[in-house]
Chains A and B, each alone.
Chain A
Amino acid sequence: MTRLSFLLAAFLLLTASAEPASFRTEAAQEETVRAIAVKLRCPVCQSENILDSQSGTAKEMMTILREQLAEGRSEAEIVEFFRSRYGDYVMLSPPASGYGGLVWAAPLLLLLAGGGAYLLLLRRSTRASGMLDATASGQSPLTEQHLKGLEL
């Protein structure tokens, strides 16, 4: 979750970066550094980002990141720089194109499948029980109503 905060900070700072650069304080600069650093994987570690990693490579990458930010490069440019050097592997959030696209689609597909199964089972089940009710009492207003609600 901590990393989520970095993401959010990145988002906030992206929207804030429209302001003139002179308004940027050192702290805000450091926030940007962190926000980008948590998205980059230390290439020589198990699964650490370059901000948390204590390895030499990660520290070097942090220095490069700071330099490039100071030169006024954008986040996208900096990420692209590291990507051209280390490949997609360096991005902790996989790219949305190519092989990475599939992994982004996976949760959506899973949710659709799960939600579909839920609705299907409920519908089959409530309809069957509605028929039971209908034979028992001659009507099933409650179930009908819910079926309508479901189909919305």
Chain B
Amino acid sequence: MVDSLIKLGQLAVCLALVLSVYAVVQAVLSVTGRAPARLRAARNVLYANVALVSFGCVMLIWSFATLDFSVAYVAQNGSSQLPMIYRLTAMWGAHEGSLMLWLWYLTILSAVAAWLHFRDHPLSMPWVIATLATVQLGFLAFIVFLSNPFLTMTPPLSEGQDLNPLLQDPGLVFHPPVLYLGYVGFAVPFAFALASLIRTQAGTEWVRVVRGWTLFAWTMLTSGILMGGFWAYYELGWGGYWGWDPVENASLMPWLTGTALLHSMMAQDKRGLFRTWNVFLVVTTFLLTLIGTFLVRSGVLTSVHAFAVDPGRGAYMLGFLTMVMLVGYGLIILRAERLSADTLVESAWSRESAILANNVLLLVAAATVFVGMLYPLFVEAVSGERLSVGAPYFNKVVVPLMLAVVFLLGIGPSIPWRRMNPRRLAIGFRVPVLAAVLALVVTLAFGVHNALTAVAILAVSFAAAATLVDVVTGVVARQRTTCEPLWLAAARAFAIGRRRYGGLIVHFGIALIGAGIIASGLFQTAVTVSLKPGDSFELAGNVVTLRGVEDANGPGYSGRAAALSVSKDGVPLTEMRPEKRFYRVRSMATTEIAIRSSLAGDLYMVAGDETAEGGIVIRGYWNPLVNWIWTGWLVVAFGALLSLSSARRKRAPRAVPATGIEGVPAE
């Protein structure tokens, strides 16, 4: 019975594969044949595929929940000792299942896009649907033929190999689903961009449609990346949250180009500028999300030799990427002539020019990460030599670029479109400049001996102050004219100018994150001590005492915990219990970190090896202001949602009869 259920899931996914071919054909034919029925059929496939793929995913999750070890994927990534919450989320714990999650999102977002825009954009719709269905087809074919999570084994195993212990954490419940939503969210802008290219209609219309989608995808991507950082921070136990790992880099690249896109789309929306550039950014961002999805879990990034383990998968991925690249960039080159803007950047002192500079910096950063990520592969393929491009390299080259972006982030929103008087701009920045200098002086007292740190502090405090001044000026101006109480003036100003204030709030959140990164990165204190019970050590003014080492067993693992008590100025503060765990099924050791958070920073304890005298090695970190990063995320999310809430279009009255879609001049 159970076996037949998983087979039904596979059948559903195979059916979705066939239907997606049908949808592409119908959508394309609907253009030449002017046949609305064909287009509706194609759209209905998108709806049907949601149901089919959802069914497949639910069957897979069900197999995990019921521990059906006759399913190979479940046997590889589940075990009877796995708690239920991780059984339900183990689907995206490995390669095959995470592609299923990608596909699941894609079908859902495709259907939502078709449902939202079908009436208002009838002329683009055939190409939008054809593109989305083609991408679905690409993933479905890969899943069915090369990376099938529904495969069964006879005889079934009596016990599975368990989920990777590092993934047995609440982080698994949130991080991959949110990050993937960010990735897949860019598929809809990509589809609209292709449609506008094919129709040679890269005016402002598609940008308006796509703005909400892009902002949504960007917000999810940002959240997913930060959640991943938070997860790494409390799970991996090296006191940091970002290691410039290829996996992290793969998610950073679409974030960088997506951020560039959000800004340059504004220039097209308001001034009709950068048309070709915007489609280029959309195509590039989507490609990078594909690269992120494909390459990360395939193991290619560690070595080219991993490619040879499964040449079929590797070749397919490369083929799919190449096809998307050829179609996307090819169309841009074909249409570039007709996309040229009819307006110009009038002055170097203008919003347009600032956006251009922002784009250049973000793109250079993205390209640098790309080169750094793939360069070792290239060298190995060319010469057989192996070299590493790791954290020390990226910190040196990407951080300065990002500081320039942060500096621009403070200036940009104050510069008007078209042109301005630079002297007036300088006068407007008196307060932020003063604040930045003040912040630098204060931190100099803490001992900054490095030029890059000084520049970082200047840039971040300047950006934060400039953003605050912008917000306060707006709110106060409103309060003066309306004589409302300040809070009401603020609320109304935010409600009316959602896009502007949303953007400013996001900027402020980014500045907070920047402050957290600088402080926790540059002023971190770390100690490694070997303690016997009763011994203590000092860390950032706190006295940490080892009371003893105890057993701490849990489901699927045996653990040892160090009981630490923390006091400050003789006053007991808290107890901390960092653990070491040993997962039996995979015979793998992990560490469970103990963290005590405060606004000023985190005390962060990692348990090391036990010593012969009944003691233990403890690595303790003091991470100042690290909470500001997570707080900054909340601010960014709030700002993005505020901005997103203005994206809802006023729906055109339903003047169109449901039977026909021709002659609707909505575009």
A24 within 8 A of B: no
The complex places the Cα of A106 from the Cα of B517 at a distance, in Å, of 25
The complex places the Cα of A117 from the Cα of B94 at a distance, in Å, of 42
Q: Is the CB of B344 within 8 A of A106?
A: no
Q: Is the CB of B419 within 8 A of A142?
A: yes
A134 within 8 A of B: no
Could you tell me which residues of chain B, from 41 to 56, have a CB within 8 Å of some CB in chain A? none
A78 within 8 A of B: no
Could you tell me which residues of chain B, from 347 to 384, have a CB within 8 Å of some CB in chain A? 347-349, 353, 356-357, 360-361, 363-364, 367-368, 371-372, 375, 379, 383
Q: Is the CB of A89 within 8 A of B387?
A: yes
**B347: which of A38, A102, A143 is its contact (CB, 8 Å)?**
A143
The complex places the Cα of A62 from the Cα of B136 at a distance, in Å, of 48
A1-34 interface code vs B (CB 8 A; 1 in, 0 out): 1111101100110000000000000010010001
B557 to chain A, nearest CB (A): 15
**A7: which of B345, B367, B395, B401 is its contact (CB, 8 Å)?**
B395
Q: Is the CB of B392 within 8 A of A122?
A: no
Contacts of B385 in A (CB 8 A): 87-88, 99
A135 within 8 A of B: no
Contacts of B522 in A (CB 8 A): 1, 4-5, 8
The complex places the Cα of A103 from the Cα of B520 at a distance, in Å, of 28
Contacts of A47 in B (CB 8 A): 243, 245-246, 302, 388, 390
Query: Do A88 and B368 form a contact, CB below 8 Å, given A115-B360, A121-B356?
Result: no
A136 within 8 A of B: no
The complex places the Cα of A94 from the Cα of B523 at a distance, in Å, of 26
Contacts of B360 in A (CB 8 A): 114-115, 117-118
B583 within 8 A of A: no
Query: Do A4 and B395 form a contact, CB below 8 Å, given A34-B526, A110-B364?
Result: yes
The complex places the Cα of A132 from the Cα of B346 at a distance, in Å, of 10
Query: Do A126 and B345 form a contact, CB below 8 Å, given A2-B239, A38-B392, A103-B389?
Result: yes
B237-269 interface code vs A (CB 8 A; 1 in, 0 out): 111111111100000000000000000000000
Residue among B237, B379, B388, B390 with max Cβ neighbours from chain A (10 Å):
B388
Contacts of A104 in B (CB 8 A): 393, 397
Interface size on B, residues (CB 8 A): 63
A115 to chain B, nearest CB (A): 7
B449 within 8 A of A: yes
**A1: which of B236, B242, B356 is its contact (CB, 8 Å)?**
B242
A64 within 8 A of B: no
Contacts of B364 in A (CB 8 A): 107, 110-111, 114
Q: Which of chain A's residues has its CB closest to B368's CB?
A: A107
Contacts of B383 in A (CB 8 A): 99
Q: Is the CB of A125 within 8 A of B345?
A: yes
Q: Is the CB of B390 within 8 A of A92?
A: yes
Contacts of A106 in B (CB 8 A): 367-368, 371-372, 375
B399 within 8 A of A: yes
**B520: which of A2, A11, A38, A102 is its contact (CB, 8 Å)?**
A2
The complex places the Cα of A92 from the Cα of B395 at a distance, in Å, of 11
B387-422 interface code vs A (CB 8 A; 1 in, 0 out): 111111101111101000000000000000001000
Query: Do A4 and B399 form a contact, CB below 8 Å, given A11-B450, A46-B245, A118-B360?
Result: yes
Contacts of A128 in B (CB 8 A): 344
Contacts of A39 in B (CB 8 A): 392
B435-468 interface code vs A (CB 8 A; 1 in, 0 out): 0000000000000011001000000000000000
Could you tell me which residues of chain B, from 68 to 90, have a CB within 8 Å of some CB in chain A? none
Q: Is the CB of B521 within 8 A of A122?
A: no
A40-72 interface code vs B (CB 8 A; 1 in, 0 out): 010000111101101000000000000000000
Q: Which of chain B's residues has its CB closest to A95's CB?
A: B387
Contacts of B241 in A (CB 8 A): 2
Contacts of A121 in B (CB 8 A): 345, 356
The complex places the Cα of A37 from the Cα of B80 at a distance, in Å, of 39
Contacts of A89 in B (CB 8 A): 386-388
Q: Is the CB of A94 within 8 A of B387?
A: yes
B518 within 8 A of A: yes
Interface size on A, residues (CB 8 A): 56
Could you tell me which residues of chain A, from 74 to 133, have a CB within 8 Å of some CB in chain B? 87-95, 99-100, 102-104, 106-107, 110-111, 114-115, 117-118, 121-122, 125-126, 128-129, 132
B457 to chain A, nearest CB (A): 13
Main secondary structure of the interface of A (DSSP, over half): helix
B589 within 8 A of A: yes
Query: Do A94 and B344 form a contact, CB below 8 Å, given A4-B521, A5-B524, A103-B372?
Result: no
A98 to chain B, nearest CB (A): 8
The complex places the Cα of A49 from the Cα of B243 at a distance, in Å, of 9
Q: Which of chain A's residues has its CB closest to B621's CB?
A: A2
Q: Is the CB of A118 within 8 A of B346?
A: no
The complex places the Cα of A114 from the Cα of B526 at a distance, in Å, of 39
Q: Is the CB of A3 within 8 A of B395?
A: yes
Contacts of A150 in B (CB 8 A): 348
Residue among B238, B391, B526, B589 with max Cβ neighbours from chain A (10 Å):
B391
**A2: which of B237, B240, B379 is its contact (CB, 8 Å)?**
B240
Contacts of B473 in A (CB 8 A): none
Q: Is the CB of A126 within 8 A of B363?
A: no
Q: Is the CB of B345 within 8 A of A91?
A: no
B308 within 8 A of A: no
A136 to chain B, nearest CB (A): 12
A73 within 8 A of B: no
Query: Do A92 and B388 form a contact, CB below 8 Å, given A1-B518, A46-B245?
Result: yes
The complex places the Cα of A52 from the Cα of B239 at a distance, in Å, of 9
The complex places the Cα of A126 from the Cα of B387 at a distance, in Å, of 45
B residues lining the A interface (CB < 8 Å):
236-246, 302, 344-349, 353, 356-357, 360-361, 363-364, 367-368, 371-372, 375, 379, 383, 385-393, 395-399, 401, 419, 449-450, 453, 517-518, 520-524, 526-528, 589, 591
Q: What would 20 more interface pairs be, CB under 8 Å, given A1-B522, A3-B392, A106-B375?
A: A1-B518, A2-B238, A2-B240, A3-B240, A3-B244, A3-B395, A4-B522, A7-B395, A88-B388, A92-B389, A93-B390, A94-B388, A99-B387, A104-B393, A104-B397, A107-B397, A110-B368, A125-B346, A143-B347, A150-B348
Which 3 pairs between the two chains have the least Cβ-Cβ distance?
A: A1-B521, A92-B390, A2-B240
Sample of 23 A–B contacts (CB below 8 Å) = A1-B395, A2-B238, A3-B391, A4-B395, A8-B453, A12-B449, A27-B527, A30-B528, A34-B526, A46-B302, A47-B390, A88-B386, A89-B387, A89-B388, A94-B389, A100-B387, A103-B375, A106-B372, A106-B375, A118-B360, A121-B345, A126-B344, A126-B346
